[in-house]
Chains A and B, each alone.
Chain A
Amino acid sequence: MSIDVQPEQTVSEPAPVPALEVRGLVKHYPGVKALDGVDLVVRQHEVLGLAGENGAGKSTLLKALVGLVRPDTGEIYVRGERVRMRSVVEAAENGIGMVFQEQSLVPNLTAAENIVLGSEGSAVRRGVYRWETMRKMAQEQLDKIGSDINPLARTDTLSFADRQMVEIAKLLRIEQRSQHPPVIILDEPTSVLESKEIETLFAQVRRLREFASVVFVSHRLDEVLDVCDRVSVLRGGQSVGELPTAGAVPAELHRMMIGSTGSDDHYHGGGVQAADRRESLLSVRGMSGATFRDVDLDVAPGEIVGIVGVHGSGREDVCRALFGAEPTTAGDVTLDGKKLDLSGTRAACAAGIGYVPAERKTEGMVGPMSVADNMVLTKQGARCTGPLVSPRKQATLVDRWIDRLSIRTPHRGTAIQRLSGGNQQKVVLARWLIAGDIKLLLLDHPTRGLDIGARSEVYRLMRELAGNGVATVLLADSLEEAIGMSDRIVVMSDGRVTKEIDCPSGAKPTPLDLVKEMV
């Protein structure tokens, strides 16, 4: 099958005004360009898929569409008219609504109350609910999407899929406000649904098309192709093309998402040594927890093992469990031949395990504290003489690491939140290195939100550490990164390890090989 990447798809019938149009949207965050000139057209009565890897800018774009993020430059048009939205309410007035990944219903209210919440209208008279009116209003909404949910059921007694229906029914109330067919955005609506529920959802989405436009976001490419009329692809904050879904296969779409060239070669040729795997430093046998089951994992000294998997594969929780930050129900874990205590993070730190969380700002660092304090937070012994902190020892130690990792900060006493993302991340990494006792590094999206320069520095540091015998578990930001950095890749799906793929330098698998295993 040939790949037809058309920047502007030609339409046969005369195109009416698009329901929603985005032109040249740009959004900067400190140190990173989340959106770099995105264009998007949502036609009336179509289901548009939005695809892109993590960090491609999808979520920023969606937030801009519902007024949660204000773009630096660029325009948004609703039915041909330029709009500026500063809140979800203003977006709703323009007929745009979004079903969030984390649901926004109030669990201890009935479905009907949730549906009318915020737009009660005639369901409230003199400050008092008129239950019958409200029930009818809710029923009307539910009928629209053909749902048979009892509007008087308490929301927390409904299944996740039903709650999603309630949320969609609620969203459709924005029709009343804008007097036009609404634009409904579904952000990863299938990530926690069973396959039967997904079928139901898809049926609903197709019904929605009758009286609304839908933007559908999912990591599962087969779903995107199944339910959407057209797919728009984002990469690195830019629109890279569109694809009509008729006859398309996931492989095509994925190639557009990752770029056909397989660029960013700078971390491929890092001199990967085939690690000696006869001895394994970390050995995990049958580890189970709330979101993963029977996980086996081996990491040799100096080896970088990437874990890949779609949203909900449980790989993040495996990482946290190894660090004692997520409870396990079963399993044998040894590090360097010694049984590992998974009961808490302190035990893990003492055993020589380091963890770099994906949420740098809230979990990785303590923003108002200084670079020095953040760096020595874990290995306090490195700055102490006996039980006392030695300011001189601390200054020498911290300055040495600032120098060594070329952390660009005015001073070691500067609050870490004033640094750029890349430099923050280097401080967080240094935290585990200063004592020189690190054996295993667990890196959860260590390059998330970093620019290219900072990324390659993190890659170089990872290589250097691996060269010194540190074992690394990497949850990469993209498949490319996983392939480039890993000596071996473990595929997880639905909480289980489904495949192990060797990934030596010179014989790397392609992202497509991995996608086949992941979906």
Chain B
Amino acid sequence: MSTPVLATPAADVGHADKGGPTLGQRLTSFMPLIALVALLAALSIADPDFLTQRSLTAVVRTSAPLVVLAVGATLVVLCGGIDLSIAALTSLSTVFFALWLPDLGGLTTLAVIAATACIGAVQGLTHVLLRIPSFIVTLGGMSIFSAVALVISDAGPVRITDRAATEWLTLYVGGYVPMAFVVAVIVVAAIALVLRLTPIQSWITATGYSEPAARLAGTPVDLVKVAAFTVSGACAGLASVMLVSRNFSGSPTMADNLLLPAVAAIVVGGTAITGGHGSVWRSLVGALVITLLRVGLPIVGVPSAWEQILYGAIIVAAVALTLDRSKVLIIK
């Protein structure tokens, strides 16, 4: 038998990276956690009062909607797509929530999540059946959802009088941990568990890395993609309930400033924007990093206008670190 165990890397310079992960690659994969710890350290140096239970509680409470949004969209990114509609869909569903609450009462939360899941599924089906890039489908969705939210809300906030339906999210587990964050972590854990225990993980990974190969292996590529968009939609619904529980109102623009942070959370977590590589846990860490930045920048005296500049820079830098350019021939 003359087949060598491993392809000889010396034969071709381009294959030199196949001898296993280099130190740099290993570091890159732990980068999100390192960044999280470094940020915490830097912030507590800048403001010694920062590292208190109170402010940490505030950070995780603020992060909850972002975690949920980012984790849902991570599934779409893992499949090789992108969901740009999440923030607009969240805004729309805060309005849904406020409008439906008087009629549905305690069932409103479930109804909103079901509705956004359906909307996500429709976007997924549009992407798969009409073969339109997910970027375009969700860009269109973003615009449509924003407009619908404006129309049905009469372009203003809709106040919530009955706070009982969302009160549970404002509770604290053990007195310290905000319920919203616990719910977010449960969502992450549940998705991670389903992926780990079922074939879905390998279907998603195969679809994200190489859709033609996945298709020719009989992987239910279309089904997996529609499912990813559905979960992403449902997560937007859940995030909206979290926002409503804090703001006591629904508003057509409430979550609009969450799109960039959510995408930043995904890429900072180290999920490859080209698909295949990544995990929902990474996005949880990424969302915490982003939230820390958000909360911490004012502490160290950075004006809030600079926040957006920072997000933009972070996204580009994170993709530069995680993108394997050897596999992407044409950058569009």
Residues of A within 8 A of B (CB): 28-31, 72, 323, 325, 345-346, 348-350, 355, 357, 362-369, 373, 376-378, 380, 383-384, 387-389, 406, 408-410, 417-423, 431, 451-454, 457
Quick check: is B170 within 8 A (CB to CB) of the other chain? no
Q: How long is the Cα–Cα vector from A386 to B199 in the complex, in angstroms?
A: 11
Quick check: is B198 within 8 A (CB to CB) of the other chain? yes
**Beyond known contacts A389-B197, A453-B1: 13 more, CB 8 A cutoff:** A31-B4, A366-B210, A367-B209, A368-B209, A368-B277, A369-B202, A377-B217, A389-B196, A419-B5, A419-B7, A420-B4, A422-B3, A452-B2
Q: How long is the Cα–Cα vector from A376 to B206 in the complex, in angstroms?
A: 12
The residue among B2, B8, B220 with the most chain A CB atoms within 10 A of its own CB is B2
With A366-B210, A367-B210, A452-B2 known to touch, is A345 a contact of B218 (CB < 8 Å)? yes
Cβ-defined contact, A369 with B8, below 8 A: no
Cβ-defined contact, B219 with A378, below 8 A: yes
Q: Within 8 Å CB of B218, what residues of A?
A: 345-346, 348-350, 377-378
With A363-B213, A366-B210 known to touch, is A377 a contact of B7 (CB < 8 Å)? no
Cβ-defined contact, B6 with A419, below 8 A: yes
CB of B193, distance to nearest CB on chain A (Å)? 10
Q: How long is the Cα–Cα vector from A378 to B216 in the complex, in angstroms?
A: 9
Cβ-defined contact, A408 with B205, below 8 A: no
With A362-B213, A368-B276, A369-B205 known to touch, is A457 a contact of B7 (CB < 8 Å)? no
Q: How long is the Cα–Cα vector from A289 to B154 in the complex, in angstroms?
A: 54
Cβ-defined contact, A431 with B217, below 8 A: yes
The residue among A323, A369, A422, A454 with the most chain B CB atoms within 10 A of its own CB is A369
With A28-B12, A369-B205, A389-B197 known to touch, is A406 a contact of B213 (CB < 8 Å)? no
Which residues in window 170-223 of B have CB below 8 A to A? Answer: 196-199, 202, 205-206, 209-210, 212-220
CB of A68, distance to nearest CB on chain B (Å)? 13
Cβ-defined contact, A408 with B5, below 8 A: yes
With A31-B4, A378-B219, A389-B197 known to touch, is A364 a contact of B213 (CB < 8 Å)? yes
Cβ-defined contact, B7 with A31, below 8 A: yes
Cβ-defined contact, A451 with B202, below 8 A: no
With A30-B11, A30-B12, A408-B5 known to touch, is A366 a contact of B205 (CB < 8 Å)? yes
Quick check: is B159 within 8 A (CB to CB) of the other chain? no
Quick check: is B163 within 8 A (CB to CB) of the other chain? no
Q: How long is the Cα–Cα vector from A150 to B196 in the complex, in angstroms?
A: 61
Cβ-defined contact, A29 with B202, below 8 A: no
CB of A337, distance to nearest CB on chain B (Å)? 22
**Size band of the interface chain B makes with A:** 20 to 34
Q: Majority SS of interface residues in chain B?
A: loop
- Contact partner, B6, options A348, A357, A418, Cβ 8 Å: A418
Residue of B nearest to A407 (CB): B3
Q: How long is the Cα–Cα vector from A490 to B166 in the complex, in angstroms?
A: 70
Residue of B nearest to A354 (CB): B218
With A345-B218, A378-B219, A380-B199 known to touch, is A31 a contact of B212 (CB < 8 Å)? no
Q: Within 8 Å CB of B246, what residues of A?
A: none
Cβ-defined contact, A378 with B7, below 8 A: no
Cβ-defined contact, A30 with B8, below 8 A: yes
Number of A-B contacts (CB under 8 A): 118
Residue of A nearest to B210 (CB): A366
Cβ-defined contact, A365 with B213, below 8 A: yes
With A29-B12, A420-B7 known to touch, is A357 a contact of B209 (CB < 8 Å)? no
- Contact partner, A380, options B6, B18, B202, B215, Cβ 8 Å: B202
CB of B41, distance to nearest CB on chain A (Å)? 33
Q: Within 8 Å CB of A350, what residues of B?
A: 218
CB of B318, distance to nearest CB on chain A (Å)? 19
CB of B196, distance to nearest CB on chain A (Å)? 8
- Contact partner, A373, options B1, B5, B196, B205, Cβ 8 Å: B205
Q: How long is the Cα–Cα vector from A384 to B2 in the complex, in angstroms?
A: 34
Cβ-defined contact, B3 with A423, below 8 A: yes
Q: Within 8 Å CB of A406, what residues of B?
A: 1
CB of B229, distance to nearest CB on chain A (Å)? 19
Cβ-defined contact, A346 with B220, below 8 A: yes
Q: Within 8 Å CB of B198, what residues of A?
A: 384, 387-389
Q: How long is the Cα–Cα vector from A383 to B199 in the complex, in angstroms?
A: 9
Residue of B nearest to A30 (CB): B7
Q: How long is the Cα–Cα vector from A406 to B2 in the complex, in angstroms?
A: 12
Cβ-defined contact, A369 with B209, below 8 A: yes
Q: How long is the Cα–Cα vector from A453 to B196 in the complex, in angstroms?
A: 38
Chain B 7-19 per-residue mask, 1 if CB under 8 angstroms from chain A, else 0: 1110110010010
Cβ-defined contact, B11 with A29, below 8 A: yes
The residue among A357, A380, A451 with the most chain B CB atoms within 10 A of its own CB is A380
CB of A410, distance to nearest CB on chain B (Å)? 7
Cβ-defined contact, A376 with B202, below 8 A: yes
Chain B 95-134 per-residue mask, 1 if CB under 8 angstroms from chain A, else 0: 0000000000000000000000000000000000000000
Q: Within 8 Å CB of A409, what residues of B?
A: 5
Cβ-defined contact, B210 with A454, below 8 A: no
Q: How long is the Cα–Cα vector from A323 to B18 in the complex, in angstroms?
A: 33
A–B Cβ pairs within 8 angstroms, 16 of them: A30-B11, A345-B218, A346-B218, A346-B220, A348-B218, A366-B209, A367-B210, A376-B202, A377-B206, A377-B214, A377-B219, A408-B1, A410-B6, A418-B7, A419-B6, A457-B3
CB of B25, distance to nearest CB on chain A (Å)? 12
Q: How long is the Cα–Cα vector from A325 to B211 in the complex, in angstroms?
A: 13
Residue of A nearest to B207 (CB): A366
Q: How long is the Cα–Cα vector from A369 to B217 in the complex, in angstroms?
A: 13
CB of A402, distance to nearest CB on chain B (Å)? 12
Residue of B nearest to A70 (CB): B13
Q: How long is the Cα–Cα vector from A346 to B212 in the complex, in angstroms?
A: 13
Residue of A nearest to B324 (CB): A368
Q: Within 8 Å CB of A364, what residues of B?
A: 213, 216
Q: How long is the Cα–Cα vector from A368 to B3 in the complex, in angstroms?
A: 20
Residue of A nearest to B20 (CB): A418
With A368-B276, A373-B205, A377-B206 known to touch, is A454 a contact of B214 (CB < 8 Å)? no
